[in-house]
Amino acid sequence: MLDDTHDAHRRSWVPTANEPGTDFPLQNLPLCTFVPPNDARPRVGVGIGDAILDASDWLPGPNLNGFCALPAAQRAELRRQFVRVLEAGAPTRELFAQRDCALFNPTAVGDYTDFYASIHHATNVGKLFRPDNPLLPNYKHVPIGYHGRASSLVASGTPIRRPHGQLGEGKFGPTRELDYEVEVGALLGPANALGAPVPISEARSRVAGVCLVNDWSARDVQRWEYQPLGPFLAKNFGTSVSPWVITAEALEPFRVPAPAHDAPVLPYLQEPDAGAFDIHVEVWLRASGEATAIRLSRAPFREMYWTLGQMVAHHTSNGCPLRAGDLIASGTVSGPEKENRGCLLELTSKGTDPVRLPSGATRTFLEDGDEVILRASAERAGFARIGFGECRGIVLPASV
């Protein structure tokens, strides 16, 4: 629901929050888990401009699990309080420079589920391996997902070591086809009880906020192991999570209708109104030995075939309990054009069409020393731009 917290004309007493192009204006106020300089206690913070407000008075505790557990109405009221504290004319408070703080995973994630919600990604990948039948027959009827590994979720900036795995019959060694996947993650709100599905009419309220996720993938390992049960060691070696949680309330101005389905959707997945978000996600690569990063892709999240609400409703439809602070991810965000492809597997057509770098070097998959940077934003005329910050990870050589 839109209210005066979304008013684009409101300004903050924090100067950098009013600068054009800032990720964190007064209308955003993303949440994070951070440790300020000269301290050791993790606490909840609010991003504003290039600074962080300590939110311990409102949200005590070491992370955002308590925030996620609040009903949607209480989360919205907290947002209104933060706006009042940080808007122009309010008394100034102590702030911490973001560059001086340590940022961590926003919640203690008990469970992590990764979906496969982009029909463009599913079709592009399907064409590479099954040219005559790229989209499997169940895709348009059921949100496809798999259970990931919460223990290998790492904070943005944590290096990712090239994993070992089986590469074929009798072959074991470091992956030669390390890839990224740009995704949007949802941190889940109040829990549902075991055996109690969340109806689609309530699913939206169970998304406390969203963040950026890089679900790193070893494509050669994946190709060998994924049949008949699906992803396993090719994906559970590391998943990077951005530190900034963009609240569902901050994203209300950017709700749009999801793409129309050309196959019947079962009643439990029929969303009553606009369930998609008009967010654009970007992938940047600072290749090893290169001075600057280049943008590899930019994709529209609004094009996802399944929405976050549908993912929640489907996930719980068999009575599976979700808990506050759990993470679900969208799967690779891709669009209809080549510039929209959200992983190297797609972008390079399985390595046959390399990415060319400014130096003249090329990439088919990631090399040691490469750094992947994810960014995103939501923009709409008449409203302040909402940025997501960054999710970074650099590739380390495989262990000996």
Structure tokens at 162: 């090239």
- For residue 173 the two structure tokens come to 């060694």
Element (DSSP H or E) covering residue 213? strand 207-215
Listed residue (212, 331, 359, 220) closest to 283, CA to CA: 212
Q: CA 153, 154, 160 angle in degrees (round to 5)?
A: 110
**Tokens describing residue 225:** 């192991």
Quick one: CA torsion of 329, 331, 334, 335, rounded to 10 degrees?
Answer: -80
Cis before 190? omega within 30 = no
Query: For 2-106, where are the E strands, in sequence order?
Result: 31-35, 43-48, 51-54, 95-97, 102-104
Residue 82 phi, psi dihedral angles, 5° rounding: -65, -40
Question: What is the pairing mode between strands 280-286 and 276-277?
Answer: unpaired
Planar angle of CA 153, 157, 158, nearest 5 degrees = 50
Exactly one of 121, 280, 314, 315 is catalytic; name it: 121
Distance (Å) of CA 79 to CA 162, 190, 248: 40, 17, 10
Sign of the dihedral defined by the CA atoms of residues 336, 346, 181, 387, in that order: negative
Nearest to 278 by CA among 257, 299, 254: 254
Respond yes or no: is residue 280 known to be catalytic: no
> Which residues are catalytic, by number?
121
